[in-house]
Amino acid sequence: MTNRVEVYIGTAGHSAWFSSDQGTSWLHPNSHSGMYLEARVWCFSSHLKDKQFLYAGTDMGLFRWDEYTTRWTSLPSPMKEVWALTQDPNNAQILYAGTRPASFYKSLDGGLNWQHIPIPNLVDFSDVNMGPTRCTQLLIDPYDSAQIWLTVEIGGIFHSKDFGQTWEMKVQGLVSIDVHGILITKNTAQEKIYLATTNRGLHRSLNAGQTWEMTPLQSPWQYTRAITRQENNPSVIWLTNGNGPPGDSGKLLRSENFGESFSEIKLPNQLHSTPWCIAIHPTNPQLIFLATNLGQVFRSDDAGNKWLLLPHQFGEIRALHWRTTDYPDDRPPHAVTTRPPLTIFR
């Protein structure tokens, strides 16, 4: 086996793209690889203990990439549009999924079978946008894998303490239930801090989401999207901010005090839309990718101090994901050392 670090981009209409050279060039598996070329890919999930498979949530259900056969497989399920995915950190076979219209599902066998678990107060249609609600993030508490958080656009925040079997709504204090993401970290006193992003601002909770308080940003816009933390330093929080979807401008913000305050990190080029996704490599926190809603991709090799705009510009981007793969050295005859068939873009 050969270890290889890869980054993945999910697009709204041009399926999934891979890069094994940190974004210098991109591989675009065509329809013979099992996923149709016009797929809308909303999310990815992979597991550090299972380097063979990558899961993708799309507008046509769930797909699984097999590193050994270099193909996507459509996994039959009751889900039509999969917008959020995550896996239990202790068991790669346990998957959680959120859909559009908003609903929650759980699999115990690697996505082969799914259980639909109803969530009280979770609605599947919103009068605000006159359309279906959608799950935007599933987060497993990094300090307690029994606890799962689900954010919904437009529907609020939900919390489970028992691996997704029962749920409570946690929206008190939110100025908007149009929720995009959520983060949990611990301060130096080992107190949990909860941060949630919405279309009208960043929210903070110190009591496990019982109440939320908006924390205004020093920015002309309060629209916030992705939020994540630096794994080797939980005081460092990354936040994307802009003037809405898709927007035509925005900021990348960084906090070094557990989200109490944020400062802008300058990017080398003008942004053409709101920053949408940020992904930090799970074992090398020096490597960070940032993508805007309408296709710009930036990379940092020094934990976010300096950034490079990558040459390939995509269409609408919906997901960024890092993983380390085991690339088989003993492939069967039908599999070759480059994924068949592929289109390479530089």
| The pLDDT value given to residue 160 | 98
For residue 244, the enclosing domain spans 2-345
Q: What is the structure's pLDDT at 345?
A: 46
Q: Which pLDDT score is estimated for 343?
A: 45
**Which residues neighbour 302 within 8 Å (Cβ) at sequence distance 6 or greater?**
286
- The tens-digit pLDDT sequence of the chain (346 residues) is 556 678 999 999 999 999 999 999 999 887 789 999 999 999 999 998 898 999 999 999 999 999 889 999 999 999 999 999 999 999 999 999 999 999 999 999 999 999 999 999 999 999 887 899 999 999 999 999 999 999 999 999 999 999 999 999 999 999 999 999 999 999 999 999 999 999 999 999 999 999 999 999 999 999 999 999 998 899 999 999 999 999 999 999 999 999 999 999 999 989 999 999 999 988 888 999 999 999 999 999 999 999 999 999 999 999 999 987 765 555 443 333 344 444 444 4
Q: Give the whole-angstrom CA distance, residue 318 versus residue 200.
A: 20
pLDDT of residue 52: 92
State which amino acid sits at residue 40.
R
Q: How many helices (H) and strands (E) does the chain have?
A: 0, 31
CA distance 81 to 198: 22
3-state DSSP assignment of residue 323: strand
pLDDT for res 326 = 64
Phi, psi of 9 (to 5 degrees): -125, 130
- Of 78, 70, 63, 64, nearest in space to 33 by CA: 70
* CATH number of the domain within which 179 lies: 2.130.10.10
User: pTM for the complete prediction?
Assistant: 0.92
Which two tokens mark 13? 């209409």
Distance CA 292, CA 295 (A): 6
Q: Where are the beta strands (DSSP E) in 170-214?
A: 179-186, 192-198, 201-205, 213-214
Q: From CA 340, how far away is CA 342, in angstroms rounded?
A: 6
How many domains does the chain contain in total? Answer: 1
Q: Which residues make Cβ contacts (< 8 Å) with residue 144, sequence separation at least 6?
A: none
Sequence-separated (6 or more) residues with CB below 8 Å from residue 191: 206
pLDDT given for residue 282 in this prediction: 82
